[in-house]
């Protein structure tokens, strides 16, 4: 009997849904201008399918304060907005719970909105997870972020390196082209020199041949005259 109860208990534990960890994502830090609006994103990862009982909640803790207040809650398929707190009539739910999106939109921002916003989500039976926080900083003029400066420096360095490489290969090409043109001109001068020497030697050879022909004809005439005298 005890063995039977043990087996039944093990089977019930295996069949019953077990809770797993849920991972929640928000941004790290957001900047905005006074009078503008900003979307604060919140999503989650869960091994389960998106439950119909999925919930989202947002808390807000102003800068310099230790206590936070609840400003938004989504449960039972309905959003519940803050109607009495600092975001009264300025907060809007723009997420899609079935796509695991619990984002909110805050309008008409003010310096007093600076603080930390924390999002928590549940996807039953996955309800164990650490809430994620994003800090909001409101300015009258957006500052240049350190990441932008670093990216600009890296881009300038990379551009300089590319320019140096292009100049290097361009110089190599120009030098090779110059060497090739010089070698071609040298070969051309040698060929012209040979042709000129042949042209200069040509008249001398013709003159020598003419003189030899004249001598041969003169000797032939002498032979013919000597033959006539003998007769």
pLDDT value at 40 more than 70: yes
Give the model confidence (pLDDT) of 80-137 as tens digits.
998 888 999 999 999 999 999 999 999 999 999 999 999 999 999 998 899 999 999 9
Share of the chain above pLDDT 90, in %: 47
DSSP H or E stretch at residue 175: helix 146-230
Confidence category of residue 61, pLDDT binned at 50, 70, 90 = very high
- Cβ density class 2-11: b for 16+ within 10 Å, e for less: eeeeeeeeee
Q: How far apart are CA 26 and CA 120, in angstroms?
A: 10
User: Encoding tokens for residue 31?
Assistant: 């900047």
Q: Name 138's Cβ contacts closer than 8 Å, sequence gap at least 6.
A: 31, 32, 33, 34, 109, 110, 111, 113, 114
- What was the pLDDT predicted at 13? 33
Give the model confidence (pLDDT) of 148-168 as tens digits.
655 677 888 888 888 898 898
Q: For the whole prediction, is pTM greater than 0.75?
A: no
């Amino acid at each position: 009997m005890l063995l039977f109860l043990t087996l039944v208990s093990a089977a019930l534990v295996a069949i019953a849904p077990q809770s797993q960890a849920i991972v929640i994502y928000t941004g790290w830090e957001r900047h905005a201008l006074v009078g503008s609006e900003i979307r604060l994103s919140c999503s989650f990862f869960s091994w389960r399918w998106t439950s119909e009982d999925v919930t989202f909640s947002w808390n807000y803790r102003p800068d310099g304060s230790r206590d936070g207040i609840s400003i938004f809650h989504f449960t039972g398929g309905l959003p519940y907005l803050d109607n009495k707190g600092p975001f009264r009539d300025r907060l809007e739910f723009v997420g899609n719970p079935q796509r695991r999106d619990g984002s909110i939109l805050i309008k008409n921002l003010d310096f007093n909105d600076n603080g930390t916003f924390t999002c928590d989500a549940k996807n039953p039976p996955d309800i164990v997870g650490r809430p994620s926080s994003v800090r909001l900083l409101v300015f009258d003029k957006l500052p240049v972020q350190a990441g932008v400066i670093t990216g600009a420096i890296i881009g300038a360095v990379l551009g300089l390196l590319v320019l140096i490489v292009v100049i290097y290969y361009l110089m190599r090409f120009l030098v090779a082209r110059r060497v090739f043109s010089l070698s071609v001109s040298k070969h051309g001068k040698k060929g012209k020199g040979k042709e000129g020497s042949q042209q200069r030697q040509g008249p001398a050879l013709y003159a020598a041949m003419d003189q030899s022909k004249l001598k041969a004809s003169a000797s032939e005439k002498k032979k013919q005259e000597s033959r006539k005298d003998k007769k």
